[in-house]
Structure 1
């Protein structure tokens, strides 16, 4: 501000200026504008008023990172399965086996589903200090029983074979601190057993070579196995044949338990008769089509029984059967289990002696319904895979 007139005293002019400043700071500023009916004159005035009210911090140019801020990518989370989703899978043997917790194979180091691996552990041979490494998963029924004195005497009197007939008196190695049985998990594979059996059967110094597969947490002083017990661990010769023998027994036992629980022709779809005249792919598919609609048919399998062993020249000559067939209704592959080859004639004859109608037919369609029948299906599959790798092995 300047003094407009030199004749006004400076003190008067200063007082006048202070009053003007104080008046404008406490009272709203009134802008005068000419009255006009045109909106073009109103718009610039409103814009000017708006710009004067914007703080200076917002008048500065801002970074595109602030003006065009983007949120982070949304994580695609899987929806939790509902009960309707789990019900069909809980009765699918292949889904149940593959969904079991992964475990490491002691021989190969591969991590596989638990239901595919076999359980192995130390079993003490009666009347000796030897501890055999055996497939305890196949001997659970024998190892779980506590033998009575009469059973022990009968086992001692019947000791004519190697270890197999003494299973009623076997005692598995246990971890008393944990209160459970010690066992390893290994892939039941015939090639691996044939490779490692000669190696594990040899002695490596004062200990057998099989002690190398014993985990460090089992050994003294950290584990329950003492140094003396570690030196007594041995590997039985003929282990592939031994495993096959008890795998067949286990499958036959599970088949009989499933047969007793689920009856043939009950309408539940567990057991159905396949009317076939030959064991060919086309004959099995045609018989499956004549069964009609069966719930969850893709979870089942065809069982070839070949009753009687010799039912005419053509049936006796044609011993081969397909490994799998396509179900005509679901268009999915289902396995074919030839029980005459998988179980052997002796185990199959044991099933026939029950006089059950299941084992009097040439072929059956089997579809699991509960947990025990699912284990039967998985055991059949494991036995077939064990023999597929060496079909010449027939014990």
Structure 2
């Protein structure tokens, strides 16, 4: 009997160990969506990104490794200190396994540093700075939807080719704006263009008049708006009041998405050239996803929303494949797995955490050319991922051998 009991105990121990190896470490998988839900980037990502994350969980079946998947969310108000406090609380006391979206580069950099310290996953879809996969890279950090280099190659490259070879920048005064200005400057100069000046404006400023007057008086052919969200929309509206485009200068909206075009309207936005990683009216698969998203949110998705859907889906696939939600195993699997979904078709993840995928150069249609609601873009070109993104070996990330 004693031998039988010992054998039974050994079997139970082995069985429980095997189950533990193929399960979530705390009986659930919890993902946090941390972004701007009330400020200048609320339409850019906001609550719609939260809905995209929930869609991804539902489409995955609501569970992974037999345990429920939970989405939590919070508004970081574009403040790195608030974001950092939320991230620490989520990681330390609320059993959050991964934090995603992270609109605003200064916020994303702060949270990625905490995730690295805590050995937790973060996947950025809302922020743009290449530092996330450059000098601030992390073995547990991933950058998913786009970055400033891809925007510079797309929008900046297109305008230089069209003769826009002198630039002046209106730049948001924080990490994202600096990175976007620098990346575009490098690309313009490498293409034979010049940069005649720049001015920086506070985030969420309401009055662009003094900045626009400096840009107008510079004589630059292109005024590069190195900002995003309502800042870009407001700058475009006020530029019209000064007759800037009527005077022959071109506005380059370096980070402008479907959401901002909708808010601005086709009449004001027509003719703008921009770069996104996704367009809802591209093909049947994109349209099918967009319809589901629209039914939930009342809007069509941009690259931030669809990128968040992709990031959550890929994370859950990695947990499933790794057989655990333990950080090291999931991060290793995320680096190894190809990405193939409605957003990242044929995508790969570099050793620096950059998800490399195609981008799209788009032009806003004239109102008369729009055939249905939200039909806003002509696709001018597909930019291959290897052209859009920095070679990981040249990114400055110390993880790249």
TM-score if structure 1 supplies the norm length?
A: 0.22
Larger relative contact order, structure 1 or 2 (CA cutoff 8 Å, min sep 6): 2
Compare the two structures and name the one with the higher strand fraction. Answer: 2
| Greater Cα radius of gyration, structure 1 or 2 | 1
TM-score if structure 2 supplies the norm length?
A: 0.21
